[in-house]
């Protein structure tokens, strides 16, 4: 339940002063929603003053300053200063769609126990053209889906502050896939709830730039999955949340991939442990072994509908022009 003295949500926008920042902030200020229930915490990580702009004077806006400490640190700083029961992490080149906060308010009333609320996302270019729309729709206890690769975008998510701080916030040691890492750790201790409403736009246009080192993505993903796999009771949680043959296959995939990763690093005992868990999951899958999706899940490097495939399609389209 939301404390009566707390705001409903804090929208945290880390920035290095990109010219898309006003659009991101204004998309929050333009929400048809009680202004007394939300705030916008802009974390200026540029090391320089931000240009004067009308939004800086808006009542719900607070401005914090870091000095080039990196985006996960900026997000954690914003969360530490936030007054909302829920936290919304919005990048400064993305924006909310009209009705987003109202949709989240309704979802929070319907699923007050959920630690992570999310809606649909639209991937948009500089001309406003929708390149893709995504909403994986997983809900409840869904650790198998989240650790298995289902894409729940941070840009379309509302996270309860209690669980965010319980898992320690963003992992400052990761320089890639840190959003997915946060979702895995929260899915291990709480539940997810989804709305079909599209709530945010993710920019992927000709001028899109990122500080993400995608070369580190595979390593960061393995580190993140391995951390979760080390937690007590996770194996049972993953099997209990596998809803069909595909997700049983993903559980096996995760453990066997981690076993090979540890073996290459000569972590023999950990490799054996992960491998035995993978074999146990294989046996537990039972009749699911007879289903084609199970074996497809074992082969897949990425889950269908994830940002990986959207990104590839966008890059291929850009090359044609």
For residue 205, give the 3-state DSSP assignment.
coil
Neighbours of 37 (CB within 10 A): 17
Q: Which residues pair with 117 in a beta bridge?
A: 158, 193
220 token code pair: 């960061």
- Class of the domain covering 8-93: alpha beta
**In the chain, pLDDT over 70 holds for what percent of residues?**
93
The Cβ-side half-sphere exposure at 316, using a 13 Å CA radius, reads 7
Residues 6+ apart with CB under 8 A from 299: none
* CB of 314 closer than 8 Å to CB of 123: yes
Distance of CA 178 to the CA centre of its chain: 8
**What b/e string do you get for 258-286 counting C-beta neighbours within 10 Å, with b at 16 or more?**
bbebbeeeeeeebbebbbebbeebbeebe
Residue 211 has pLDDT above 80, yes or no: no
284-304 per-position pLDDT tens digit: 999 999 999 999 999 998 888
Residue 1 has pLDDT above 50, yes or no: no
In 3-state terms the chain splits into helix, strand, coil percentages (rounded to 5) of: 50, 20, 35
CA angle 41, 47, 48 (to 5 degrees): 90
Q: How confident is the model at residue 318 (pLDDT cuts 50, 70, 90)?
A: low
> DSSP assignment, residue 194?
E
Tokens 């393995």 locate to 222
Average pLDDT of the segment spanning 49-76: 91
Residue 4 has pLDDT above 50, yes or no: no
Question: Which has the closest alpha carbon to 73: 39, 47, 38?
Answer: 47
Handedness of CA 289, 292, 294, 296 (dihedral sign): positive
> Of the ranges 87-96, 119-128, 200-209, which is most confident?
87-96
Q: How confident is the model at residue 47 (pLDDT cuts 50, 70, 90)?
A: confident
For residue 247, give the 3-state DSSP assignment.
helix
Q: Phi and psi at residue 128, in whole multiples of 5°? A: 80, 5
Return the domain boundaries, the chain: 8-93, 217-299
Residue 310 has pLDDT above 90, yes or no: no
**In the chain, pLDDT over 90 holds for what percent of residues?**
79
């Amino acid at each position: 339940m939301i404390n009566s003295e707390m705001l409903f949500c804090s929208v945290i926008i880390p920035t290095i002063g990109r010219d898309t920042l006003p659009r991101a902030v204004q998309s929050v200020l333009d929400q048809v929603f009680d202004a007394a229930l939300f705030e916008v915490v802009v974390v200026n990580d540029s090391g320089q003053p931000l240009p004067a702009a009308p939004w800086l004077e808006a009542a719900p806006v607070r401005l914090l300053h870091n000095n080039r400490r990196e985006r996960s640190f900026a997000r954690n700083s914003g969360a530490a200063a936030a007054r909302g029961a829920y936290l919304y992490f919005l990048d400064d080149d993305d924006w909310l769609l009209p009705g987003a906060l109202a949709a989240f308010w309704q979802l929070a009333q319907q699923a007050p126990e959920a630690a992570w609320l999310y809606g649909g996302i639209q991937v948009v270019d500089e001309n406003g053209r929708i390149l893709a729309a995504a909403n994986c729709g997983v809900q409840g206890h869904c650790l198998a889906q989240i650790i298995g690769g289902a894409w729940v975008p941070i840009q379309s998510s509302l996270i309860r502050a209690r669980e965010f701080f319980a898992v320690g916030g963003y992992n400052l040691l990761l320089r890639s896939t840190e959003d997915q890492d946060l979702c895995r750790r929260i899915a291990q201790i709480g539940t997810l709830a989804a709305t079909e409403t599209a709530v945010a736009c993710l920019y992927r246009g000709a001028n899109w730039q990122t500080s993400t080192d995608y070369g580190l993505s595979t390593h960061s993903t393995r580190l993140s999955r391995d951390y979760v796999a080390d937690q007590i009771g996770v194996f049972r949680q993953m099997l209990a949340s596998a809803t069909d043959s595909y997700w049983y296959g993903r559980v096996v995939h995760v453990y066997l991939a981690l076993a090979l990763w540890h073996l290459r690093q000569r972590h023999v005992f950990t490799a054996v442990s992960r491998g035995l868990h993978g074999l146990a999951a294989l046996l537990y899958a039972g009749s699911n072994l007879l289903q084609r999706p199970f074996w497809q899940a074992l082969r897949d490097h990425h889950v269908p509908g994830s940002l990986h495939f959207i990104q590839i399609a966008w890059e291929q389209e850009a090359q044609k022009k």
